[in-house]
Homo-oligomer: A and B are copies of this chain.
């Protein structure tokens, strides 16, 4: 099988209602409002070296911070998201704002190429002394992604040139050569950014440095130990490292020896993304194997049903197998976004629908829940149960998630399909059009559907002239009873292999594939080892995980509701917005009005109650209230 590669999102037009609406919101509201927030909180000003104006004290921050070491990355991520927006439609105002930030970065850059505004503005003499904690490569990676995206959107090279100068400096300081530091960052990110630069430029040195960073990670003597000793020798004040070992940054051992997903979830996902990229690019079997082992570990023991990752706020990450508390789930938006990156790389390393399933699950649930309907409110943590207190916020001391979700949505059409020399593979559905070249033939492709609300999908395959090639259709793992026809003639879906049905034929103008993916509502049960979900059930329809929110189930907290095992689930249009589908069932509500004590010996009074569930990603858009994903089954 020839190798499939993703199409740039800018080559794929979003036409379906679901993603058009999200995209429009991100373009018209999220990206502009994020710039306002970056300005308001002094993040943009922090680039204005050598004398940045004093930033505001963030009103919600308990640590009274004024400047964060990772602000460069937030600017980089905003430029990336804004550049994706420019790829959809040019906008002089946004371009001026990006150019202004690039002006500042250009001014800030040291003569030798070094470019980190936190260090340059505060402790220039201490650069490269604490990769473990201080995010210099991480910031560089995000700036680089921004520079690539801006170049791709506008053809302007200035930012990219700045970043290439910075990389020249980095490559001179770090590496395995004599006198070089054998460092890598505590927060992975630059690795995947370097792969993007390699794909853009074809310059091998970027791939080589990414491979160096991945391979050096966790080797002995440990770089973070040596670095700490060097700090001590210079008399620098040492902060206590709040973790017992280097699992937090996935540097506890060499990556090829890692078989458990550990530590900070976003760091882990960014690392694995780069590992999968490298495995594909280098044909590196042991790296591929490591990716697969880690994938199985997270899928089998550590992922929320929403594709949220990382239960613990302490390390923003993973704990032990099956530890999936719902109310306190951290499940950082960034981690689900980064899982999408990783899943996409796995899919192109090895075309298997199981990766597409998770890509889709994370897209529609754990990632999308991070952005409000209005496009200007966010979740950093994405709990699976709420007592009504936490709510979406406008901004955060660490705004990483805000731009992660905007850059995802602004480039979402890039995840829909891939092409190879002899075919095209559809991973997601939801309405797109594109024109691709397959085996020398131009082929117009148009996928029409109301996905994820409805499972009927039509794919128009229009080669300029008849040509034989594969059309691979992902048959989602959640779907039973899928049917496929070409020009009205049914195909045998049982022929699908590893999640894809391959249709090979001589395609001609006007050909239509019809794919029907039945999506009856289903119950999900968690592995009994996931003790937080014991005796509970989650609801899902198609790729969407549902939840009960108080606004749809008035009369008190939704934790009063129970679902009988045999209650029929109904899918029906719901007024939360046009086209949305809610699930309803005849359930049971316990009454708390007659509970005069905290504990009593008689069961709560129960009444029948219609239970209404909405897609999880839509929760917390209509005021505060309780929410639950895992509903207790009724004992009545």
Please report A residues at the B interface, Cβ cutoff 8 Å: 62-63, 240, 244, 299-301, 303, 305, 320, 322-323, 325, 327-328, 385, 387, 389, 522-532, 534-536, 538, 556-557, 559-560, 562, 564-565, 590-592, 595, 597-604, 626, 628, 632-636
Contacts and interface: CB of A to CB of B under 8 A. Distances in A.
A547 B591 CA distance: 26
Given A564-B635, A565-B635, A601 B522 contact: yes
A632 B525 contact: no
Given A527-B598, A564-B635, A632-B632, 15 more contacts: A299-B598, A301-B598, A325-B328, A327-B531, A385-B531, A525-B599, A525-B603, A527-B597, A527-B599, A528-B556, A528-B560, A528-B595, A534-B559, A535-B562, A538-B599
Q: Which of A301, A536, A556, A633 has the most CB of B within 10 A?
A: A633
Contact of A598 (B530, B565, B595): B530
A603 B538 CA distance: 11
Contacts of A299: 598
A381 to B, nearest CB: 16
Nearest to A559: B531
B601 A523 contact: yes
Contacts of A387: 320, 322-323, 531
A525 B591 CA distance: 12
Contacts of A327: 325, 531-532
Given A301-B598, A598-B299, A636-B565, A590 B528 contact: yes
Contacts of A597: 300, 527
Nearest to A523: B601
Contact of A535 (B240, B244, B536, B595): B536
Ranked 3 nearest A-B pairs via Cβ:
A535-B632, A633-B635, A531-B559
Contacts of A526: 598-599
Nearest to A533: B599
Chain A residues touching B, majority SS: loop
A556 B322 CA distance: 14
B599 A305 contact: yes
B300 A529 contact: no
A635 B536 CA distance: 9
Nearest to A244: B62
A600 B635 contact: no
Contacts of A62: 244
A546 to B, nearest CB: 14
Nearest to A595: B527
A632 B528 CA distance: 12
Nearest to A558: B531
Contacts of A525: 599-604
Given A327-B325, A633-B635, A635-B635, A524 B600 contact: yes
28 contacts: A63-B240, A300-B597, A300-B598, A320-B389, A325-B325, A325-B327, A327-B532, A385-B531, A523-B601, A525-B600, A525-B601, A525-B602, A526-B599, A528-B556, A528-B557, A528-B559, A528-B590, A528-B591, A528-B604, A530-B598, A531-B557, A531-B559, A531-B628, A534-B559, A534-B560, A535-B535, A535-B562, A538-B599
A524 B635 contact: no
A305 B600 CA distance: 10
Given A565-B603, A603-B565, A535 B598 contact: no
A460 B328 CA distance: 54
Contacts of A600: 524-525
Contacts of A63: 240
B603 A528 contact: no
A391 B591 CA distance: 37
Contacts of A601: 522-525
A550 to B, nearest CB: 12
A591 B528 CA distance: 8
Given A303-B598, A305-B599, A592-B529, A633 B556 contact: no
A353 B430 CA distance: 66
Q: Which of A240, A300, A532, A634 has the most CB of B within 10 A?
A: A532
A395 to B, nearest CB: 19
B634 A527 contact: no
Given A325-B327, A389-B320, A565-B603, A535 B633 contact: yes
A523 to B, nearest CB: 6
Contacts of A557: 528-529, 531
A536 B603 CA distance: 10
Nearest to A300: B598
A276 to B, nearest CB: 21
A634 B389 CA distance: 30
Contacts of A300: 597-598
B598 A534 contact: no
A535 B632 CA distance: 6
Contacts of A595: 527-528
A229 B140 CA distance: 42
Contacts of A559: 528-529, 531, 534
Contacts of A523: 601, 603
Contacts of A385: 531
Q: Which of A320, A529, A565 has the most CB of B within 10 A?
A: A529
Contacts of A565: 603, 635-636
A632 B534 contact: yes
A325 B385 CA distance: 12
A419 to B, nearest CB: 31
A18 to B, nearest CB: 24
A609 to B, nearest CB: 13
Contacts of A562: 535
Contacts of A628: 531
A240 to B, nearest CB: 8
A5 to B, nearest CB: 30
